[in-house]
Structure 1
Amino acid sequence: MERLEEELTCAICYDIFEEPRVLPCSHTFCRVCLQDLLQPSYAFPSRRCLTCPACRAVVPIPAAGPQELPLNFALKAVIEKWQQEERARAEERARAGTEAGAGAGAGAEAGTCRAHPQQPLNIYCLKDRQLVCGQCLTIGEHHGHPIDDLQSAYRKAREASGKLLEELMGKCCSEVFSCSERLQQQKAQCQSTLQSDREAVLRYFKELGDTLEHKKEALLTALDELDSQISEKFDPLIKDAEKLKVEETELKELHLAVQKEQSPLLFLEKLDRLQQRLRALTQQQLPNAEPVEIHPRMETLLQDTWSKTEIGQVHKIHTPKLHLTGKSQCSGKQTGAAAVWAALTEPNVIVLILVVVVSLWHMETSAGALLTPLTDLSQFLGRIYRDCCRYLHDTVEELCYTSTLPKEFCRRILP
């Protein structure tokens, strides 16, 4: 009995186990005792750890505390059974002490059978597990039941309880531990898979975010570069316009001063200076900039290209080259080609070509050297053709970027 009590005693508090919890090292202690041994863990920031009093191994404890450790159900069942037997033995000892100290009449009444008065309860029924009298065994309800002496039954039960504890601590306990470890391994495997998926999600969206951030910076850089071009184009013109505004303001102030002048001579002098500056201002050409447009527009690019591109293909989108174009250029190359064709079909151009051909045909040549004018004509027409091609190429480019009219093209061709 003492050996069993030692097995049921906690190695920390030296008392019977209360809520026995199993550590990862397989040793069992009271939950409250483990709570008192907790220490902060530097290896597990979200956990705490303790040193096992039995094997001195440092084991981690869940963040919620020892109550999350597996409960030793087998040991708990043995403890409950042992406590029940202890209470029964205590009651029996108390009853035996009461009978020994009481009077003879009282002792006979306390130790007699209720069904058969005056019959002592001195036989233990193994089937019903209670004390009975001789008549209960012979003519009563316990007839034919296996019996034994109380002390003998007690010794046998003590021995059986020790074997029961060994059985519980052996096969049953190992099965419980195996089940607990198997469940923990399954949980750890699922959590590992979940962590891998979580890392994959974070990695994918980080790469996607980096790509989008890079594309955003590229588009903003292109806009900044175009903004610099706009400033270079318009800032000097704005500066000249501001100078003209200042000159206009000064002339207004000078005009007021002239109106207030009382001296005839000074009035005439100031008026003359005012007129000279006014003529200079009116003759000065106002700064003018050709109306321009930004091409391509980012809003159109985002709607037509970005919104129709799959997420995985975003990195293949190229950053466009932004530039300023004249508003007349929006008509495209087809408009420029139409203007060139209109210029070539002008009557002046046709007349020019005919005049050149006739002049060369009537060139002063000898009657016997007819091939020489033809050769000269061929060479001259070749030069005319090359010059016309060059003029046409230059004029097409100028039409696309300066919006000149077909008649202006003709004036460039005609001397």
Structure 2
Amino acid sequence: MATLGTDSLDAGTEVKTACPICFEYFKTPRYLPCFHTFCHNCLSSYILSTCKSKENPVGFPCPLCRQFVPAPSSLGEPEKWTELIPINTIIQALCEKKDQFCDACRRANEEEVATDWCGSCLESLCAFCAKAHKRNAVSQNHKLVSKAEISKIPIEFERQALCNTHSAPVNYVCVDHEELCCAECLFTQHRKCNQVDEVEKTAECLLQSDTLDRLGQKIQQYEDCLVQAKTEGEETIKYIDETSDKILEESTELRDKVLKHITNVVETHFTDLAKKVKEEKERLVNFVDTVSDRKQLVARYAQTLKETEKTPLPILVQDYLKIKQQFNDLTKLGLHRSVVELHSDASKELLRILECFQLEEVKMMTVFLPLGGLDFSSARMKMVCELPDSDGDVTGGCYLENGDIVLSKNSSKECLYYSNEKLERKNILKRPPKDIIRMKPSKFLMSTNINGKGHIEYCDFAEENIKDLFVTKETKQHKRLKQDIPV
């Protein structure tokens, strides 16, 4: 960030001539209603950055004190505001001088520390020159301000109404354009206007009439709407926060339940798998032991039958009969070997949850209503009257200035005219009407649709013949103009 040089400035002057945003000497300093001054470019960048997120901005807070600054003009166009904020000519002159000496003494090649500032001459004066300045006939009405009070000078400029074009004091008000104007504007831009009054006269009329009060009442009503809108906005933010927290809490609770349920299901599946595996393994272990015993038995039989040479004959016969009998009994025991297939669809079912399960998208419904308008979505409707023969496909209609009603019935090709809630006239038309609107006291538009094309019929007739609106024959008296337009 740039720093302000202090070689020729004391601490007090440095504060007055340094922009609080960029800390450089002021460049085209502009002051706000709170009398804080900033560089033109710094203030412009600040306004644009502050207002970029707002819809149709109407002002901005001061970068220092945060006091709200109304838009000087052109609501919703912050890029134009900085040019309309007044220049602090005193600060600008101090920045150009960059010292604290008396300007009058400097012209005499002398150096005296300035103690006062002349707002008319835009010069610094020492105590002696300030005294002479007040005694001079030309400058005796100039207002001198102490250097210590120099920051308060913009107050006087703020209270002056100046012409936007010529920066001169305004003396007149153009009523036609509702603009303040100086003498030059009066004879140039507003010389053809019908009413141009003096500012004092206009001010007296405003004070004596109730114009200010009526405008104040309208502003108060609008302020009440703004307060209500702000309250509703804050309540809506609170509602969104509370509802979102509730949704998160419910979703988190349900998520935990779902995870717990899935965990329990999977654990049950694991338990069932372990139980079945254990039972089948125990059976297979018993089967293997049984087969091993029988294998050892038949191996012993085979060995006995091979050792017949050293066996006595009676023992041989005895062993033969015993082995034959036991072998026949062994083969009748019915030993069965098992074929086992272990299978589970749990993984596919869990995978299906991952593939198919998806939460519904969050829905945020927002309805925009004009400030101070009516919310018909929550309004209570009350029937005022029921018009006879108005059932069926009534596709359009309009109110007349005298309170009468005109309706169009499409399928029956009828237009119904009601007065005081009674059906006064029913006209059969050539084409089925879609809608009818009143433009002016004697001018109407009626829309129809034939063969996929829309027809707009323009009717012009005398006010006293209002009930003859539904004449469908082309006559010179009514001069009906027809224009086909695509639907």
Taking structure 1 as the reference length, the TM-score comes to 0.30
Structure number, greater radius of gyration = 1
Taking structure 2 as the reference length, the TM-score comes to 0.27
Structure with greater proportional helix content: 1
Structure with greater proportional strand content: 2
